[in-house]
Amino acid sequence: DFNERCAQCSEVNWGLTDGGRYYCKSCHNVTERTREVVNTDFITNSRIQTISKGSRKQEKTGIGCEWYVCEGFQLVLKKQAEALEALGVCPQMKDEVLYSFWRCYLQKSKQAYCNRPAGETVKALSVCESSTDVDSEPERPSLLHLLSLSESEGDLQTDCSFASSMSKLSESTSVYSGSVDGSLYLMKNQKEKLRMTMPMTLSFCYMALLWLREPITLSELLRFVVEGHIPYLNVFQHFPEKMKLCGLDLKIFCVESWPVYEEVHNKMLELAAFLDLPRFPDITDSCFLHPDMLCIKYLMEANLPDELHNWTCRVVKKIGIGEVDFLTLVPGNKSTRKVKYDILAAAVIVVVLKLLFLLDDRYEWLLSDFAEERNKNNEEGGLYFEFKKWYEVVKHSLDVEQKKLDEERAKYLWRCEKPLFYSVKNKSKVLKRRQMVVNLQNQFGKLSGSVRRAEKPNPSSFQLSWSEENTDGSCFHGHSLKGILQEKCGLLTAMNPDYWLGTVKLCNEKLCGHLAHYREVDFPQSYHFVLSLFSFLLRIQPSYIHDEVCMIEHKLFNKKLYKKLKYNTVLRK
Amino acid sequence: SSHEHKLNFKKSKEACLSYIQDAMLQKQWKRAAEFLTFYVESLEKDYSREPIGPSEMIWRIGTEILCHHPHSNMKEFNCFIEQMKTLGVKRYLKVCLEHVFHLLCNGQIDEAYQNLSLAESWRFGEQTAIQDKEMKLIQAYRALLDYYSWSKQKNILSEHGKCLDGFADLSVEQEMHSYFRKAAVNLKEIIKIPGVWDLFVKCYVDLLEFYGDHNEACQVLNEYAYNSKFPANPNAHVYLYQFLKRQGESKKSLISALKILHDIVPSHELMIDFNTMLQKSKKRKKRRLGLEVIFAALDYAGWKENVKAWSCLARQVKQIVISEKHLDWIKQEWNSRKDWWPAFHFSRYLAKRNWQENKSLSYEKALVAGILLGKDCKYFKYVSHQGCKAQVKKFRMLKKFVNRHNPVYLRISG
């Protein structure tokens, strides 16, 4: 407990004010110190009682309880953690890691567990109905301004119509939200305190997963989100009845776009730095996220021969990207480029393919023809890997899956049963619309012929699978690379003597966002195909994989490049 | 397909819409319906900035699907449309109107009438004034249905006229008059607005004529045909002409009614009547116009095998040649045609075909060809040869005539 001497009378005789502050019982000096909250059922109890704000008003108007935005996010994180647990992530993630990170965040961003800075009061803005109190705030922030501050999407028209409908109400109505601090939340200066957003919940999750070195990559996590295995879209459905969501809350909690890899990743890094986290647990070569391990997975999924794994390991070793220090995240260290494990592994495979097959739209087909000849004439012994056959098989499956994905995108349902409305005023309109939507869905659903989509498919780590049992020869895992390798000085090397770089000079990522610039027309089609394969698997643009490929190439051929640059400068002189 | 891995509500619905459109273009109604179920949640988002919002899209797409889908029926359709009516107040009357059209096309006249009456009684603040035009249309179509009821009663009466059933007739007659009143009021209103109202005009005129108000009918038709605010409409002139003819008006007014029709639609079928009237006129200008009219009509491919038209031209040309006056008329008309009419009308192939299929046609054409192109032209030579071979008297006469007047050709073609 609090044992300091009172600044005024030097006594140690403390009591607590209604506002939760310590005051000296002897001289009635009130301090700024607030009582630290120590409630351990923070996460399990959804009715949060620990925010040191004073007594909580319950059911004041029958409309719901008071709740703060961070409580909402806490619930979201809880749901997400539970879903991850259901997917097989260890329970520590939710109860220990994620919870600790969240608590730390609340503390650092001064939303809880701390002294509330003086002067920053959260005006108890009205809850979904107009108040009759005269508004004493001298500058009421313009509603439109607040709406525009939010990062979440919304159409301007809705915002304007909301704003104008609001202004039609009485003057004394303040901007409102179901949550107590919705408007304040949007007003806060983002840069200083890393304001919480829905995509950031995924950053939290990923950070926790990374801390625990769980076998889920960020691209997988985001894929699970899109496939609905992890609550994100419409997660507010799971808020308890009493937590009413309306007005500006919608801007904070309602998502209308798929989470973006780069955004989630960058926010995770910012978050790790903001929370002053130490060096993350080591990523060693037995971790799933280590490129050697991830390469196994991706090679399997890409239907490539297992033998390629030797090559990926060689590349990894040669350029040092398998080193613990390279792979492990040290938050706040701005000098090292942050590792995107999934993209890195995919890029390694691409580089290996370039090393062995060149991928200039000519050589790989030549090699394939030789392999084909050999395979035709030799029935015994394993099959040699034929690039052409592989291309045909994989392209076919890729096209089928891509087509399915494109249709899924068009069929994506964004709304849910729980209605969202900006204000009580348009609640009935919203409900009517919802009813009509449901009616129309039923009417045309019946005319669709086929049965409506079954429940979402089970989450699967592999999007493409190939079985060696298939007699149609569509699985290439066991194929041999013999036809394209040769022995030199006791070492196996590629027959291909050439290599082309994705870019001669790497760009400054901080300035233009990329290390290199990828345009499909500038590169061989085989290369584009390989990029698009991994682009599909990881659900990211091919240009990001291309960046990693260029980065790896520059490390791999560093000496040669350096020599060449030196030579060039010498020449110029 | 887009390989973008970012997706938001708007893009997702745009993609959905393009799948719907593809399916509709390929008449895959089940697939279109399937994607529509995923599109409808757009209604829950505000698109008022876009020119065409989801509610209008859904109305139009849904209507198309329900029209063509094998498992759809009128009940489903009506249920759907009723929902669409509630979706957009600014479109309410339009939706009602299109619903009515659909009902009419499916033979549900009574339901159509009910819907029209219901729509007529709709009021919605300032929207009522804004949608004034649609309202007039609604009233006009209701009036049209009243007209048909009137027409039915009229037919009943004329049937009964034979049976002399007094009492039944009276009530039928009263009903008939009441339909007349209801119809006339609104038909009169709509045709005041500049537009194309052929059906309404015809029905209104029919009513007026029946009740003997010929002045009003004449005025209406004149307005419809000559008021410059109204879009140029050949039919307006046709209706006026037919009315004047029915009324036994003078040739002068009939001709003036058809003059504009000739200007707008030189290929109109009434050009034959027009030419016939003009040819007989005592005024030289009128006869000149007649020649112009018939030549102009035959410029069109649809008239190539029209015996009447050719006989009109032949008659007039023959008359001019015999009188030896106004050969310059023929010369003027032929000037712009001499480069292409020979191939168009008077080829050897056509000579053979015309002779085989229609001897009267070949006769008339041969006459014209003989005058315009001389006795040595392919068409005339072939037909007259065939005709004489077949020993048909008039062809021999034709041959003689053309031979005799051959110098005319020289003067024309020079």
**Per-residue pLDDT tens for B23-48?**
999 999 999 999 999 999 998 886 66
Q: Is the Cβ–Cβ distance between A47 and A36 less than 8 Å? A: no
Interchain contact, A157 vs B48, CB within 8 Å:
yes
CA A126 to chain B, closest CA, distance in angstroms equals: 25
Compute the residue count for chain B.
414
Nearest Cα to A24, choosing from A40, A54, A4, A39? A4
DSSP string, A110-124: TSSSSPPPTT-----
Supply the pLDDT for residue A558: 82
Q: What is the pLDDT of residues A35-89, one digit of tens each?
A: 654 433 333 333 333 443 433 444 344 456 778 888 889 999 999 999 999 999 9
DSSP string, B358-409: -HHHHHHHHHHHHHHH-TTSHHHHHHHHHHHHTT-HHHHHHHHHHHHTHHHH
Rounded CA gap, A448 and B261, in Å? 52
A486 beta partners: A493
3-class SS at A48?
A: coil
Question: Which DSSP helix (H) or strand (E) runs through A14?
Answer: strand A14-16
If phi over 0 gives left and psi between -120 and 50 gives alpha, with beta otherwise, what is residue A2?
beta
> What is this structure's pTM?
0.76
Angle at alpha carbon of residue B332, lines to B329 and B334, rounded to 5°? 105
Q: Would you tell me how many other CB atoms lie within 10 Å of the CB of residue B47? A: 19
Chain A hits for B9, CB-CB cut-off 8 Å, are 153, 256-257, 414
Give the pLDDT mean for A307-311: 95
Nearest Cα to A353, choosing from A403, A411, A308? A308
CA A442 to chain B, closest CA, distance in angstroms equals: 8
Give the pLDDT mean for A338-367: 95
Contacts with A180 (C-beta within 8 Å, 6 or more apart), sequence order:
A66, A67, A68, A122, A124, A125, A127
Chain A hits for B12, CB-CB cut-off 8 Å, are 409-410, 412, 414
Rounded CA gap, A433 and B58, in Å? 13
Q: How many CA atoms lie within 13 A of A51 on its CB side?
A: 21
User: Which residue from B7, B37, B58 is facing A258, i.e. has the nearest CB?
Assistant: B7
| Per-position b or e across A145-170, b if 16+ CB within 10 A of its CB | ebbebbebebbeebbbebbeebeeee
Rounded CA gap, A125 and B265, in Å? 74
Chain A residue whose CA is closest to B50: A157
- Cα–Cα distances (Å) from B310 to A549, B142, B307, B353, B366, in that order, read 82, 45, 5, 16, 10
Rounded CA gap, A473 and A393, in Å? 9
pLDDT surpassing 50 at residue A123: no
Q: What is the pLDDT of residues B113-155, one digit of tens each?
A: 999 999 999 998 888 888 998 999 999 999 999 999 999 888 8
Rounded CA gap, B232 and A39, in Å? 85
Q: Which B positions 39-58 lie with beta carbon below 8 A of chain A? A: 40-41, 43-49, 58
pLDDT surpassing 60 at residue A482: yes
Give the pLDDT mean for A191-202: 84
Cβ pairs bridging A and B (under 8 Å): 126
| B117 against A3, higher pLDDT | B117
Supply the pLDDT for residue B210: 92
3-class SS at B189?
A: helix
Rounded CA gap, A303 and A315, in Å? 20
Q: For residue A456, what pLDDT band results from cuts at 50, 70 and 90?
A: low
Q: Is B74 on the interface with A (CB under 8 A)?
A: no
ipTM beyond cut 0.90: no
Rounded CA gap, A272 and A190, in Å? 16
Interchain contact, A155 vs B47, CB within 8 Å:
yes
Nearest Cα to B240, choosing from B223, B265, B263? B223
Rounded CA gap, B126 and B131, in Å? 9
Q: Is the Cβ–Cβ distance between A398 and A536 less than 8 Å? A: yes
Q: Is the Cβ–Cβ distance between A216 and A150 less than 8 Å? A: no
Task: For A536, list phi and psi in degrees, rounded to 5.
Answer: -70, -45
3-class SS at A16?
A: strand
Q: Is the Cβ–Cβ distance between B157 and B176 less than 8 Å? A: yes
Supply the pLDDT for residue A188: 61
Chain B hits for A441, CB-CB cut-off 8 Å, are 37, 40-41
